[in-house]
Amino acid sequence: MPTYSGIGAYAAYLPAYALAGNSLEGAAPRRGGPIRSVAAFDEDAVTMAVEALRDLAARAPGGDRLVLATTSAPYDGKTSAGIVHAALGLAPGVAAVDLHGDRAGATALDLVMRTGALAAVSDMRTPRSGAPDELAHGDAAAAFAPGDGAAVVLAHAGQTVEVLDRWRLPGERHEHVWDERFTASVLVAAAKDAARRALADAGLESVDHVVVASPNARAAATLRRAFGGSGADAEVERLTGHTGAAHLGLLLAATLDAAEPGQTILALSAAEGADAFVLRVGDGVRAARAGRPVREQLAAREHLAYGRYLRWRGLLEVQGPARPAAPAPAAPPMYRRAAWKYRLEGAHCGSCGGITTPPGKACAACGDVAEQPRTVSLRDQVATVVSVTRDRLTTMPEAEVAIVVADVAVEGSRGGRLTAYATDVAPGAITVGMTMRPTFRRLWSTDAIHNYFWKLRPWKATNDD
């Protein structure tokens, strides 16, 4: 029998955008209707995983495995977790592993507690435009580290069922869905069995919080009623949509945000079978959260127009500017410059204390030359804007983007200067003196190669940061 521990730390990431209506005629969204979380045009499962993990990885205990669970990996046949590994600057000895499928999120959570892995669950959902359930899907990420500060696992039970519920063939973008009335009956039976076994193993008849994640909305509603759920998880789902492999982790993170030490949680996933976790909230749950609470992120989102969403997802083809396509990156320079490209490391001058970006032998401030200068990462530092350039001939799916020059303060140095694209903010809203923070994004994709690098987004420190 495996030895279970629990969750030592956790984090959730919601993109800065939401979509409340999908009418091309501009009809007003239905009051109290579903709202889906929307990743920006420069985000994907990899970049959202980095955002969820970036604050968590610094406090997580050293493990030997990083797991990324998703149904929307940006590459087939190439490990996406390796990109996350590089962006976080993890040790080379830490293995990076992908998990795929709707059940992958529950499996990743199990691996955190079973093997001590560091896990990110991250997904982007893109139904067909105008589909009846288009707003019932969303984009999000969550991350978990092993330990017992946030929660201790009392029991786990699972059941595998082969049923054709949702699927997508290689090369297809949109899912096929079987009649949910049939698949709901199969998933509900599997989930009830798993939950009852887990509760029995934990010696409990009821719990304080019930979390249900299922791509089948009918099954999820039935299971919440069966186990006495308050509906708090359903309300979060209404405001985000079902976020694929990330959904169980997202709902669990939202529940941990509000739960009190000593309370119990039934976390139930009904996807390609079922997984049931019974947890007791740890005494250190408040300190265990990295980043901002889920509901705080929900309240801070900007609402998108439907046409803009369609452009971002490539579902609406529009005429771009009359300029050449962005060049594709090449493997040798990406490998050789990994410290700059993935970890955003600058060269620290031993003479004047300045930081040069991109890193080089010669200091940009004093001109001193060092054969092997010390490097320092800027990815977690706060930058202050000193100038803004607005580009209206961008190849990105926006009318204009902003390129900012910012001063980055680094403790123990004179700091440095960073030039980067801005994101999650209108170009006209950027002002000199605005504080921003690096965020890992996808610049563009050319010749089947995704070009990842760091951008800057507005930042305001809180007590949770």
Joined together, the tokens standing for residue 277 give 């976790």
Q: pLDDT tens for residues 15-74?
A: 999 999 887 666 667 777 899 999 999 999 999 999 999 988 777 655 789 999 999 999
The domain 7-313: what is its CATH number? 3.40.47.10
Order of strands across the sheet that contains 345-348: 374-377, 345-348, 354-356, 415-421, 401-408, 383-391, 435-446, 449-458
CB contact burial 264-276 (16+ within 10 A = b; e otherwise): bbbbbbbbbbbbb
Burial of residue 153, with CB atoms counted within 10 A of its CB: 0-12 exposed, 13-18 middle, 19 or more buried: buried
pLDDT of the residue at 209: 98
Kind of pairing, strands 354-356 and 415-421? parallel
What gap in Å lies between CA 21 and CA 27, rounded to an integer?
A: 8
pTM of the predicted protein model: 0.94
Q: pLDDT tens for residues 209-265?
A: 999 999 999 999 999 999 999 999 999 999 999 999 999 999 999 999 999 999 999
Q: pLDDT tens for residues 103-160?
A: 999 999 999 998 999 999 999 999 988 888 899 999 999 999 999 999 999 999 999 9
Cis, bond preceding 358 (omega within 30 deg of 0): yes
The domain locations on the chain are 7-313, 332-458
